[in-house]
Structure 1
Amino acid sequence: MEVTTNQSYDYHFEYEYEYEVFRNDAFGRLNIFMCISIIIVVLFDIFLIVAVFLDRKSHGKTRSLSLLNYFLNYALVALFAYFQSLHVFIVRDLPKSHCLFIVILAYTVNEGDKYFLIPLCCEFIVKYFRPSRYENQIFLIIQSVLIGILWVFISIKTLVIILAFSHQPSNGCYVSYYNSAIVAQFVISILLLIAMLVFIGFLIYIAIKSKEQEMMKSQVITLIIITIVTVILYFLNNMIVAGFVGLMHANFFVIDRVTNIVIFLLLPFLWLFDATIRQSIRNLCSRKYTKSNGHPSHELTEIN
Protein backbone atom coordinates (compact mmCIF):
# COMPACT_ATOMS: atom_id res chain seq x y z
CA MET A 1 0.00 0.00 0.00
CA GLU A 2 1.62 3.22 -1.17
CA VAL A 3 0.69 6.73 -0.14
CA THR A 4 0.41 9.05 -3.12
CA THR A 5 -0.82 12.54 -3.82
CA ASN A 6 -2.55 14.05 -6.81
CA GLN A 7 -3.30 17.46 -8.26
CA SER A 8 -6.05 18.18 -5.75
CA TYR A 9 -3.61 17.77 -2.86
CA ASP A 10 -5.70 14.98 -1.39
CA TYR A 11 -4.03 11.72 -0.50
CA HIS A 12 -5.17 8.20 -1.11
CA PHE A 13 -3.75 4.71 -0.83
CA GLU A 14 -3.20 2.78 -4.00
CA TYR A 15 -3.17 -0.97 -3.90
CA GLU A 16 -2.08 -3.60 -6.37
CA TYR A 17 -4.43 -6.25 -7.60
CA GLU A 18 -2.71 -8.94 -5.51
CA TYR A 19 -2.99 -6.87 -2.33
CA GLU A 20 -4.25 -9.01 0.58
CA VAL A 21 -6.26 -7.30 3.31
CA PHE A 22 -5.19 -9.62 6.14
CA ARG A 23 -1.65 -10.36 5.03
CA ASN A 24 1.08 -11.16 7.55
CA ASP A 25 2.62 -7.71 8.05
CA ALA A 26 1.92 -4.45 9.91
CA PHE A 27 -0.87 -3.41 7.56
CA GLY A 28 -2.52 -6.83 7.66
CA ARG A 29 -2.44 -7.00 11.46
CA LEU A 30 -3.76 -3.45 11.58
CA ASN A 31 -6.70 -4.46 9.40
CA ILE A 32 -7.43 -7.45 11.66
CA PHE A 33 -7.36 -5.15 14.70
CA MET A 34 -9.68 -2.73 12.93
CA CYS A 35 -12.11 -5.49 11.96
CA ILE A 36 -12.29 -6.71 15.58
CA SER A 37 -12.72 -3.12 16.81
CA ILE A 38 -15.60 -2.52 14.39
CA ILE A 39 -17.44 -5.64 15.62
CA ILE A 40 -16.96 -4.63 19.27
CA VAL A 41 -18.12 -1.05 18.68
CA VAL A 42 -21.22 -2.05 16.71
CA LEU A 43 -22.31 -4.62 19.30
CA PHE A 44 -21.62 -2.31 22.24
CA ASP A 45 -23.47 0.61 20.65
CA ILE A 46 -26.48 -1.60 19.95
CA PHE A 47 -26.34 -2.72 23.59
CA LEU A 48 -26.29 0.93 24.73
CA ILE A 49 -29.21 1.78 22.42
CA VAL A 50 -31.31 -1.04 23.91
CA ALA A 51 -30.34 -0.11 27.49
CA VAL A 52 -31.19 3.58 27.06
CA PHE A 53 -34.38 2.91 25.09
CA LEU A 54 -35.77 0.55 27.74
CA ASP A 55 -34.84 2.96 30.54
CA ARG A 56 -36.14 6.18 28.94
CA LYS A 57 -37.80 7.35 32.15
CA SER A 58 -34.45 7.56 33.97
CA HIS A 59 -32.89 9.70 31.23
CA GLY A 60 -35.92 11.77 30.30
CA LYS A 61 -37.41 12.06 26.82
CA THR A 62 -35.07 14.81 25.62
CA ARG A 63 -31.83 13.20 26.76
CA SER A 64 -32.97 9.77 25.56
CA LEU A 65 -33.59 11.17 22.08
CA SER A 66 -30.14 12.79 21.91
CA LEU A 67 -28.36 9.71 23.27
CA LEU A 68 -30.16 7.29 20.96
CA ASN A 69 -29.37 9.49 17.96
CA TYR A 70 -25.68 9.69 18.94
CA PHE A 71 -25.31 5.94 19.59
CA LEU A 72 -27.12 5.05 16.36
CA ASN A 73 -24.85 7.36 14.37
CA TYR A 74 -21.72 5.93 16.03
CA ALA A 75 -22.83 2.39 15.17
CA LEU A 76 -23.20 3.55 11.56
CA VAL A 77 -19.72 5.10 11.75
CA ALA A 78 -18.32 1.69 12.68
CA LEU A 79 -20.35 -0.08 10.00
CA PHE A 80 -19.22 2.21 7.19
CA ALA A 81 -15.66 2.19 8.51
CA TYR A 82 -15.68 -1.47 7.52
CA PHE A 83 -17.09 -0.77 4.07
CA GLN A 84 -14.73 2.13 3.35
CA SER A 85 -11.52 0.70 4.85
CA LEU A 86 -11.86 -3.07 4.33
CA HIS A 87 -14.78 -4.03 2.09
CA VAL A 88 -13.52 -2.06 -0.91
CA PHE A 89 -10.26 -4.05 -0.74
CA ILE A 90 -11.93 -7.42 -0.13
CA VAL A 91 -14.52 -7.13 -2.92
CA ARG A 92 -12.79 -6.22 -6.17
CA ASP A 93 -14.23 -4.21 -9.04
CA LEU A 94 -17.09 -2.58 -7.15
CA PRO A 95 -19.35 -0.49 -9.42
CA LYS A 96 -18.67 3.24 -9.26
CA SER A 97 -22.17 3.87 -7.95
CA HIS A 98 -21.55 1.50 -5.02
CA CYS A 99 -18.24 3.17 -4.24
CA LEU A 100 -19.82 6.61 -4.32
CA PHE A 101 -22.65 5.43 -2.06
CA ILE A 102 -20.16 4.09 0.50
CA VAL A 103 -18.05 7.25 0.42
CA ILE A 104 -21.04 9.60 0.83
CA LEU A 105 -22.60 7.70 3.74
CA ALA A 106 -19.24 7.14 5.46
CA TYR A 107 -18.43 10.85 5.20
CA THR A 108 -21.89 11.80 6.51
CA VAL A 109 -21.89 9.62 9.62
CA ASN A 110 -18.26 10.49 10.38
CA GLU A 111 -19.24 14.15 10.51
CA GLY A 112 -22.26 13.22 12.62
CA ASP A 113 -20.25 11.94 15.58
CA LYS A 114 -19.05 15.53 16.09
CA TYR A 115 -22.24 17.43 15.26
CA PHE A 116 -24.52 15.19 17.34
CA LEU A 117 -22.69 16.16 20.52
CA ILE A 118 -24.33 19.59 20.11
CA PRO A 119 -27.86 18.46 21.16
CA LEU A 120 -26.38 16.70 24.19
CA CYS A 121 -24.49 19.84 25.20
CA CYS A 122 -27.55 22.06 24.63
CA GLU A 123 -29.62 19.79 26.84
CA PHE A 124 -27.37 20.35 29.87
CA ILE A 125 -27.08 24.09 29.23
CA VAL A 126 -30.87 24.52 29.08
CA LYS A 127 -31.36 22.19 32.04
CA TYR A 128 -29.02 24.30 34.19
CA PHE A 129 -29.83 27.85 33.05
CA ARG A 130 -33.52 27.42 32.10
CA PRO A 131 -34.88 24.44 34.09
CA SER A 132 -38.51 25.50 33.56
CA ARG A 133 -38.10 25.37 29.77
CA TYR A 134 -36.27 22.05 30.02
CA GLU A 135 -39.34 20.40 31.52
CA ASN A 136 -41.55 21.84 28.78
CA GLN A 137 -42.70 19.67 25.89
CA ILE A 138 -41.63 22.45 23.51
CA PHE A 139 -37.97 21.82 24.32
CA LEU A 140 -38.32 18.19 23.23
CA ILE A 141 -39.75 19.43 19.93
CA ILE A 142 -36.89 21.94 19.58
CA GLN A 143 -34.32 19.19 20.20
CA SER A 144 -36.01 16.96 17.63
CA VAL A 145 -35.95 19.78 15.08
CA LEU A 146 -32.29 20.52 15.90
CA ILE A 147 -31.30 16.89 15.34
CA GLY A 148 -33.24 16.86 12.06
CA ILE A 149 -31.57 20.09 10.92
CA LEU A 150 -28.13 18.68 11.74
CA TRP A 151 -28.85 15.54 9.69
CA VAL A 152 -30.02 17.65 6.74
CA PHE A 153 -27.06 20.05 7.02
CA ILE A 154 -24.47 17.25 7.18
CA SER A 155 -26.10 15.40 4.28
CA ILE A 156 -26.28 18.48 2.05
CA LYS A 157 -22.70 19.48 2.91
CA THR A 158 -21.50 15.99 2.07
CA LEU A 159 -23.36 15.86 -1.24
CA VAL A 160 -22.12 19.30 -2.30
CA ILE A 161 -18.48 18.60 -1.42
CA ILE A 162 -18.35 15.11 -2.93
CA LEU A 163 -20.52 15.61 -6.02
CA ALA A 164 -19.48 19.16 -6.94
CA PHE A 165 -15.93 19.54 -5.61
CA SER A 166 -14.35 16.14 -6.12
CA HIS A 167 -13.86 13.53 -8.78
CA GLN A 168 -13.75 9.75 -8.71
CA PRO A 169 -10.73 8.27 -10.51
CA SER A 170 -11.18 5.21 -12.67
CA ASN A 171 -8.78 3.09 -10.60
CA GLY A 172 -9.83 2.81 -6.98
CA CYS A 173 -12.85 3.17 -4.74
CA TYR A 174 -12.33 6.66 -3.37
CA VAL A 175 -12.91 10.30 -4.26
CA SER A 176 -10.27 12.98 -4.71
CA TYR A 177 -11.13 16.45 -3.41
CA TYR A 178 -10.27 19.71 -5.11
CA ASN A 179 -8.42 22.47 -3.28
CA SER A 180 -11.59 24.52 -2.85
CA ALA A 181 -13.34 21.61 -1.13
CA ILE A 182 -10.43 21.07 1.26
CA VAL A 183 -10.33 24.78 2.15
CA ALA A 184 -14.11 24.94 2.64
CA GLN A 185 -14.10 21.83 4.82
CA PHE A 186 -11.21 23.22 6.87
CA VAL A 187 -13.05 26.51 7.49
CA ILE A 188 -16.23 24.68 8.52
CA SER A 189 -14.17 22.44 10.80
CA ILE A 190 -12.58 25.45 12.53
CA LEU A 191 -16.02 26.98 13.13
CA LEU A 192 -17.27 23.68 14.55
CA LEU A 193 -14.22 23.41 16.80
CA ILE A 194 -14.81 26.93 18.13
CA ALA A 195 -18.45 26.05 18.86
CA MET A 196 -17.40 22.85 20.62
CA LEU A 197 -14.88 24.75 22.76
CA VAL A 198 -17.65 27.15 23.79
CA PHE A 199 -19.84 24.19 24.77
CA ILE A 200 -16.97 22.66 26.74
CA GLY A 201 -16.60 25.95 28.62
CA PHE A 202 -20.31 25.95 29.51
CA LEU A 203 -20.19 22.31 30.60
CA ILE A 204 -17.15 22.87 32.82
CA TYR A 205 -18.92 25.85 34.41
CA ILE A 206 -22.02 23.71 35.03
CA ALA A 207 -19.92 20.89 36.50
CA ILE A 208 -18.24 23.30 38.93
CA LYS A 209 -21.28 25.35 39.92
CA SER A 210 -23.97 22.70 39.84
CA LYS A 211 -25.15 21.48 43.21
CA GLU A 212 -27.18 18.64 41.78
CA GLN A 213 -26.89 15.01 42.80
CA GLU A 214 -23.84 12.94 41.96
CA MET A 215 -25.58 11.19 39.06
CA MET A 216 -26.19 14.54 37.34
CA LYS A 217 -22.54 15.53 37.77
CA SER A 218 -21.34 12.23 36.32
CA GLN A 219 -23.42 12.94 33.20
CA VAL A 220 -21.83 16.37 32.72
CA ILE A 221 -18.28 15.15 33.41
CA THR A 222 -18.72 12.21 31.02
CA LEU A 223 -19.94 14.51 28.25
CA ILE A 224 -17.00 16.88 28.89
CA ILE A 225 -14.50 14.03 28.56
CA ILE A 226 -16.08 12.68 25.37
CA THR A 227 -16.36 16.14 23.81
CA ILE A 228 -12.73 17.00 24.62
CA VAL A 229 -11.45 13.69 23.17
CA THR A 230 -13.57 14.21 20.04
CA VAL A 231 -12.36 17.80 19.60
CA ILE A 232 -8.69 16.84 20.00
CA LEU A 233 -8.96 14.00 17.48
CA TYR A 234 -10.94 16.16 15.05
CA PHE A 235 -8.36 18.96 15.33
CA LEU A 236 -5.41 16.61 14.74
CA ASN A 237 -7.08 15.02 11.71
CA ASN A 238 -7.75 18.44 10.18
CA MET A 239 -4.17 19.53 10.83
CA ILE A 240 -2.90 16.41 9.07
CA VAL A 241 -5.08 17.05 6.03
CA ALA A 242 -4.27 20.76 5.92
CA GLY A 243 -0.59 20.74 6.84
CA PHE A 244 0.87 17.33 6.12
CA VAL A 245 -0.64 16.50 2.75
CA GLY A 246 2.13 15.26 0.48
CA LEU A 247 4.42 14.58 3.45
CA MET A 248 2.75 11.33 4.51
CA HIS A 249 4.94 8.25 4.90
CA ALA A 250 3.97 4.64 5.57
CA ASN A 251 5.19 4.67 9.19
CA PHE A 252 3.39 7.94 9.94
CA PHE A 253 0.24 6.55 8.35
CA VAL A 254 0.37 3.42 10.54
CA ILE A 255 0.86 5.46 13.73
CA ASP A 256 -1.96 7.83 12.79
CA ARG A 257 -4.31 4.99 11.90
CA VAL A 258 -3.54 3.01 15.07
CA THR A 259 -4.26 6.11 17.17
CA ASN A 260 -7.56 6.68 15.37
CA ILE A 261 -8.63 3.05 15.75
CA VAL A 262 -7.77 2.95 19.47
CA ILE A 263 -9.74 6.14 20.18
CA PHE A 264 -12.56 4.91 17.93
CA LEU A 265 -12.70 1.69 19.99
CA LEU A 266 -12.47 3.32 23.43
CA LEU A 267 -14.79 6.30 22.88
CA PRO A 268 -18.11 4.39 23.32
CA PHE A 269 -16.84 2.85 26.57
CA LEU A 270 -16.25 6.33 28.03
CA TRP A 271 -20.04 6.58 28.35
CA LEU A 272 -19.76 4.06 31.19
CA PHE A 273 -18.53 6.93 33.39
CA ASP A 274 -22.14 8.18 33.24
CA ALA A 275 -23.90 6.82 36.33
CA THR A 276 -27.31 6.94 34.64
CA ILE A 277 -26.12 4.82 31.72
CA ARG A 278 -24.52 2.34 34.12
CA GLN A 279 -27.83 2.13 35.95
CA SER A 280 -29.65 1.54 32.66
CA ILE A 281 -27.25 -1.30 31.87
CA ARG A 282 -27.80 -2.83 35.31
CA ASN A 283 -31.56 -2.56 34.84
CA LEU A 284 -31.31 -4.27 31.45
CA CYS A 285 -29.14 -7.08 32.80
CA SER A 286 -31.34 -7.57 35.88
CA ARG A 287 -34.43 -7.65 33.64
CA LYS A 288 -32.90 -10.41 31.53
CA TYR A 289 -31.82 -12.26 34.69
CA THR A 290 -35.32 -11.99 36.16
CA LYS A 291 -36.93 -13.27 32.97
CA SER A 292 -34.50 -16.19 32.68
CA ASN A 293 -35.10 -17.16 36.33
CA GLY A 294 -38.83 -16.54 36.23
CA HIS A 295 -39.51 -18.76 33.22
CA PRO A 296 -38.60 -22.14 34.83
CA SER A 297 -40.59 -21.34 37.98
CA HIS A 298 -43.58 -20.49 35.78
CA GLU A 299 -43.32 -23.84 34.05
CA LEU A 300 -43.03 -25.58 37.42
CA THR A 301 -46.20 -23.86 38.62
CA GLU A 302 -48.08 -25.04 35.55
CA ILE A 303 -46.91 -28.63 36.08
CA ASN A 304 -47.98 -28.56 39.72
Structure 2
Amino acid sequence: MITSPVRAARRWAVALILIAGLAVAPPAHAQDPPANDLLNAVLWMQRSVEYKASAMTAFALARLRLDQALADRSWTAAPKEQTDAFESLPPAIIVDIDETILDNSGYQAWMALKDTTFDAKTWNAFVNTVSSSAIVGAVEFITYAQSKGVTVFYVSNRTAEEEEPTRKNLARLGFPIDDKLDTVLMTKERPEWTSAKGTRRAHVAKSYRVLLNLGDNLGDFVDDYRGTEAERLKVFEDNRDRWGREWIMLANPSYGSFETAPFKHDFKLPVGDRRKAKRNVLDAWPGP
Protein backbone atom coordinates (compact mmCIF):
# COMPACT_ATOMS: atom_id res chain seq x y z
CA MET A 1 0.00 0.00 0.00
CA ILE A 2 1.28 3.42 -0.90
CA THR A 3 1.02 6.01 1.91
CA SER A 4 -0.05 9.48 0.83
CA PRO A 5 2.26 12.37 1.66
CA VAL A 6 -0.46 13.92 3.88
CA ARG A 7 -0.95 10.76 5.93
CA ALA A 8 2.80 10.30 6.33
CA ALA A 9 3.16 13.86 7.54
CA ARG A 10 0.44 13.32 10.13
CA ARG A 11 2.21 10.23 11.45
CA TRP A 12 5.47 12.14 11.77
CA ALA A 13 3.69 14.92 13.62
CA VAL A 14 2.17 12.49 16.12
CA ALA A 15 5.56 10.85 16.67
CA LEU A 16 7.23 14.20 17.27
CA ILE A 17 4.54 15.16 19.80
CA LEU A 18 5.05 11.89 21.68
CA ILE A 19 8.82 12.35 21.72
CA ALA A 20 8.46 15.91 22.95
CA GLY A 21 6.11 14.74 25.68
CA LEU A 22 8.62 12.19 26.90
CA ALA A 23 11.34 14.82 26.95
CA VAL A 24 9.42 17.12 29.29
CA ALA A 25 7.77 14.44 31.46
CA PRO A 26 8.54 14.91 35.17
CA PRO A 27 11.13 12.49 36.54
CA ALA A 28 9.79 9.47 38.39
CA HIS A 29 10.03 9.90 42.16
CA ALA A 30 11.95 7.31 44.15
CA GLN A 31 9.82 5.34 46.55
CA ASP A 32 9.71 6.85 50.04
CA PRO A 33 11.95 5.01 52.51
CA PRO A 34 10.09 2.63 54.83
CA ALA A 35 9.08 3.87 58.26
CA ASN A 36 11.25 2.53 61.06
CA ASP A 37 10.76 2.83 64.81
CA LEU A 38 14.44 3.69 65.35
CA LEU A 39 14.77 6.67 63.03
CA ASN A 40 14.04 9.64 65.30
CA ALA A 41 15.71 8.05 68.32
CA VAL A 42 18.96 7.39 66.45
CA LEU A 43 18.84 10.81 64.81
CA TRP A 44 18.56 12.39 68.27
CA MET A 45 21.40 10.33 69.72
CA GLN A 46 23.75 10.90 66.79
CA ARG A 47 23.03 14.46 65.71
CA SER A 48 21.45 16.46 68.53
CA VAL A 49 23.30 18.72 70.93
CA GLU A 50 20.45 18.05 73.35
CA TYR A 51 21.56 14.44 73.73
CA LYS A 52 25.17 15.48 74.30
CA ALA A 53 24.03 17.99 76.92
CA SER A 54 21.88 15.33 78.59
CA ALA A 55 24.83 12.93 78.87
CA MET A 56 27.16 15.64 80.16
CA THR A 57 24.56 16.60 82.76
CA ALA A 58 24.32 12.99 83.98
CA PHE A 59 28.08 12.61 84.33
CA ALA A 60 28.44 16.00 86.02
CA LEU A 61 25.84 14.89 88.57
CA ALA A 62 27.64 11.56 88.95
CA ARG A 63 30.86 13.37 89.81
CA LEU A 64 29.13 15.38 92.54
CA ARG A 65 27.44 12.28 93.94
CA LEU A 66 30.72 10.37 93.89
CA ASP A 67 32.36 12.96 96.11
CA GLN A 68 29.39 12.82 98.49
CA ALA A 69 29.49 9.02 98.59
CA LEU A 70 33.21 8.95 99.34
CA ALA A 71 32.62 11.20 102.35
CA ASP A 72 29.68 9.15 103.69
CA ARG A 73 30.60 5.57 104.62
CA SER A 74 26.95 4.62 105.12
CA TRP A 75 26.28 5.33 101.43
CA THR A 76 25.67 2.37 99.12
CA ALA A 77 24.21 2.01 95.63
CA ALA A 78 23.61 -1.73 96.09
CA PRO A 79 21.05 -1.86 98.92
CA LYS A 80 19.91 -5.43 98.19
CA GLU A 81 23.36 -6.87 97.55
CA GLN A 82 25.53 -5.00 100.07
CA THR A 83 26.35 -6.83 103.34
CA ASP A 84 25.73 -5.32 106.76
CA ALA A 85 29.40 -4.55 107.35
CA PHE A 86 30.13 -2.71 104.13
CA GLU A 87 31.20 0.64 105.60
CA SER A 88 34.88 -0.29 105.81
CA LEU A 89 35.09 -1.84 102.34
CA PRO A 90 37.08 -0.10 99.58
CA PRO A 91 35.00 2.04 97.19
CA ALA A 92 33.80 0.97 93.76
CA ILE A 93 31.25 1.99 91.16
CA ILE A 94 29.24 -0.19 88.79
CA VAL A 95 28.84 1.05 85.24
CA ASP A 96 26.85 -0.45 82.38
CA ILE A 97 28.57 -0.30 78.99
CA ASP A 98 26.18 -0.03 76.03
CA GLU A 99 24.54 3.39 75.70
CA THR A 100 25.90 4.28 79.15
CA ILE A 101 29.56 4.80 78.28
CA LEU A 102 29.77 3.31 74.75
CA ASP A 103 27.77 4.78 71.87
CA ASN A 104 26.59 1.99 69.55
CA SER A 105 24.29 4.20 67.51
CA GLY A 106 26.10 3.13 64.35
CA TYR A 107 24.52 -0.30 64.74
CA GLN A 108 21.13 1.24 65.48
CA ALA A 109 21.46 3.46 62.39
CA TRP A 110 22.31 0.43 60.26
CA MET A 111 19.14 -1.29 61.47
CA ALA A 112 17.05 1.80 60.75
CA LEU A 113 18.42 2.23 57.22
CA LYS A 114 18.14 -1.48 56.44
CA ASP A 115 14.68 -1.62 58.04
CA THR A 116 15.68 -4.63 60.09
CA THR A 117 15.70 -5.62 63.76
CA PHE A 118 18.27 -6.75 66.31
CA ASP A 119 19.99 -10.02 65.58
CA ALA A 120 22.71 -11.62 67.70
CA LYS A 121 24.88 -12.41 64.67
CA THR A 122 24.88 -8.90 63.22
CA TRP A 123 25.35 -7.42 66.70
CA ASN A 124 28.36 -9.68 67.29
CA ALA A 125 29.80 -8.62 63.95
CA PHE A 126 29.41 -4.98 64.98
CA VAL A 127 31.02 -5.57 68.39
CA ASN A 128 34.03 -7.15 66.70
CA THR A 129 34.63 -4.02 64.63
CA VAL A 130 35.67 -2.30 67.90
CA SER A 131 34.17 0.89 66.47
CA SER A 132 31.84 2.14 69.20
CA SER A 133 32.55 5.70 70.31
CA ALA A 134 32.42 7.11 73.83
CA ILE A 135 29.32 8.77 75.22
CA VAL A 136 30.09 12.44 75.81
CA GLY A 137 31.54 12.92 79.29
CA ALA A 138 31.99 9.21 80.02
CA VAL A 139 35.77 8.90 79.77
CA GLU A 140 36.28 12.01 81.87
CA PHE A 141 33.99 10.76 84.63
CA ILE A 142 35.46 7.25 84.77
CA THR A 143 38.98 8.70 84.83
CA TYR A 144 37.95 11.04 87.65
CA ALA A 145 36.54 8.14 89.66
CA GLN A 146 39.75 6.16 89.24
CA SER A 147 41.80 9.19 90.33
CA LYS A 148 39.84 9.16 93.60
CA GLY A 149 40.89 5.58 94.31
CA VAL A 150 37.58 4.09 93.17
CA THR A 151 37.58 0.73 91.39
CA VAL A 152 35.41 0.78 88.26
CA PHE A 153 33.45 -2.37 87.42
CA TYR A 154 31.97 -2.57 83.92
CA VAL A 155 28.88 -4.79 84.17
CA SER A 156 27.53 -5.54 80.71
CA ASN A 157 25.01 -7.84 79.07
CA ARG A 158 27.38 -8.39 76.20
CA THR A 159 28.31 -12.07 76.22
CA ALA A 160 31.53 -13.58 77.52
CA GLU A 161 32.54 -14.29 73.91
CA GLU A 162 32.40 -10.54 73.25
CA GLU A 163 34.63 -9.57 76.18
CA GLU A 164 37.88 -9.34 74.22
CA PRO A 165 36.66 -6.87 71.56
CA THR A 166 34.80 -4.97 74.28
CA ARG A 167 37.99 -4.56 76.29
CA LYS A 168 39.80 -3.41 73.16
CA ASN A 169 37.08 -0.86 72.43
CA LEU A 170 37.16 0.51 75.98
CA ALA A 171 40.95 0.71 75.99
CA ARG A 172 41.05 2.40 72.57
CA LEU A 173 38.83 5.18 73.90
CA GLY A 174 40.85 5.69 77.07
CA PHE A 175 38.63 3.99 79.64
CA PRO A 176 40.80 2.67 82.49
CA ILE A 177 40.77 -1.12 82.90
CA ASP A 178 42.45 -2.92 85.80
CA ASP A 179 45.07 -5.37 84.50
CA LYS A 180 45.26 -7.31 87.79
CA LEU A 181 41.56 -7.71 88.57
CA ASP A 182 38.68 -8.74 86.30
CA THR A 183 36.53 -5.62 86.29
CA VAL A 184 34.73 -6.34 82.99
CA LEU A 185 31.86 -8.62 84.02
CA MET A 186 29.91 -10.07 81.11
CA THR A 187 26.78 -12.17 80.99
CA LYS A 188 27.42 -15.94 80.83
CA GLU A 189 30.98 -15.41 82.08
CA ARG A 190 29.84 -17.56 85.00
CA PRO A 191 26.79 -19.87 84.99
CA GLU A 192 24.95 -17.69 87.50
CA TRP A 193 25.68 -14.45 85.64
CA THR A 194 22.53 -14.12 83.58
CA SER A 195 21.08 -11.05 81.89
CA ALA A 196 19.66 -10.08 85.30
CA LYS A 197 22.61 -8.25 86.85
CA GLY A 198 21.88 -8.88 90.54
CA THR A 199 24.39 -11.73 90.85
CA ARG A 200 27.13 -9.56 89.39
CA ARG A 201 26.22 -6.64 91.64
CA ALA A 202 26.43 -9.07 94.58
CA HIS A 203 29.84 -10.25 93.34
CA VAL A 204 31.14 -6.68 93.49
CA ALA A 205 29.37 -5.86 96.77
CA LYS A 206 31.07 -8.75 98.59
CA SER A 207 34.39 -6.96 98.45
CA TYR A 208 33.57 -3.31 97.76
CA ARG A 209 31.28 -0.55 98.95
CA VAL A 210 29.32 0.33 95.83
CA LEU A 211 29.09 4.12 95.65
CA LEU A 212 27.21 4.57 92.38
CA ASN A 213 25.43 2.57 89.72
CA LEU A 214 25.18 4.05 86.22
CA GLY A 215 23.01 2.67 83.42
CA ASP A 216 20.51 3.39 80.66
CA ASN A 217 17.87 0.75 81.44
CA LEU A 218 15.90 -0.23 84.53
CA GLY A 219 17.61 -3.63 84.43
CA ASP A 220 20.96 -1.99 85.15
CA PHE A 221 19.70 -1.22 88.66
CA VAL A 222 17.16 -3.92 89.60
CA ASP A 223 16.35 -7.45 88.46
CA ASP A 224 12.55 -7.07 88.33
CA TYR A 225 12.58 -4.87 85.24
CA ARG A 226 10.71 -7.10 82.77
CA GLY A 227 7.25 -6.78 84.23
CA THR A 228 4.21 -4.95 82.95
CA GLU A 229 4.21 -1.19 82.69
CA ALA A 230 2.36 -0.99 86.01
CA GLU A 231 4.89 -3.28 87.69
CA ARG A 232 7.79 -1.29 86.29
CA LEU A 233 6.23 1.94 87.53
CA LYS A 234 5.98 0.45 91.02
CA VAL A 235 9.68 -0.49 90.94
CA PHE A 236 10.47 3.07 89.91
CA GLU A 237 8.35 4.53 92.72
CA ASP A 238 9.75 2.13 95.33
CA ASN A 239 13.24 3.42 94.50
CA ARG A 240 12.32 7.07 94.01
CA ASP A 241 14.91 8.32 96.51
CA ARG A 242 17.76 6.58 94.69
CA TRP A 243 17.37 8.18 91.25
CA GLY A 244 19.84 11.00 90.80
CA ARG A 245 21.53 10.11 94.07
CA GLU A 246 23.29 6.73 94.00
CA TRP A 247 21.59 5.62 90.77
CA ILE A 248 22.35 7.70 87.67
CA MET A 249 20.27 7.03 84.53
CA LEU A 250 21.51 7.91 81.02
CA ALA A 251 18.96 8.62 78.28
CA ASN A 252 18.44 5.92 75.65
CA PRO A 253 15.31 6.23 73.48
CA SER A 254 16.45 3.67 70.90
CA TYR A 255 15.93 0.39 72.77
CA GLY A 256 15.36 -1.11 76.19
CA SER A 257 12.76 -2.74 78.39
CA PHE A 258 10.60 0.39 78.13
CA GLU A 259 9.72 -0.40 74.52
CA THR A 260 9.28 -4.14 75.03
CA ALA A 261 6.95 -3.83 78.03
CA PRO A 262 3.86 -2.99 75.90
CA PHE A 263 4.15 -6.32 74.06
CA LYS A 264 5.12 -8.20 77.26
CA HIS A 265 8.72 -8.66 76.09
CA ASP A 266 7.56 -11.32 73.62
CA PHE A 267 10.10 -11.12 70.79
CA LYS A 268 8.38 -13.96 68.95
CA LEU A 269 5.64 -11.53 67.93
CA PRO A 270 5.86 -10.11 64.40
CA VAL A 271 7.19 -6.56 64.17
CA GLY A 272 3.76 -5.29 63.14
CA ASP A 273 2.12 -6.76 66.24
CA ARG A 274 4.80 -5.24 68.46
CA ARG A 275 4.22 -1.82 66.91
CA LYS A 276 0.47 -2.18 67.34
CA ALA A 277 0.92 -2.97 71.03
CA LYS A 278 3.11 0.10 71.48
CA ARG A 279 0.61 2.31 69.68
CA ASN A 280 -2.21 0.97 71.86
CA VAL A 281 -0.60 2.19 75.10
CA LEU A 282 -0.04 5.77 73.93
CA ASP A 283 -2.00 8.43 75.79
CA ALA A 284 -3.10 10.42 72.75
CA TRP A 285 -4.99 13.67 72.37
CA PRO A 286 -8.30 12.86 70.57
CA GLY A 287 -7.79 15.68 68.09
CA PRO A 288 -9.90 18.72 67.17
Which TM-score bucket, shorter chain as reference?
A: 0.3 to 0.5
TM-score, scaled relative to structure 1: 0.32
Structure with greater proportional helix content: 1
TM-score, scaled relative to structure 2: 0.33
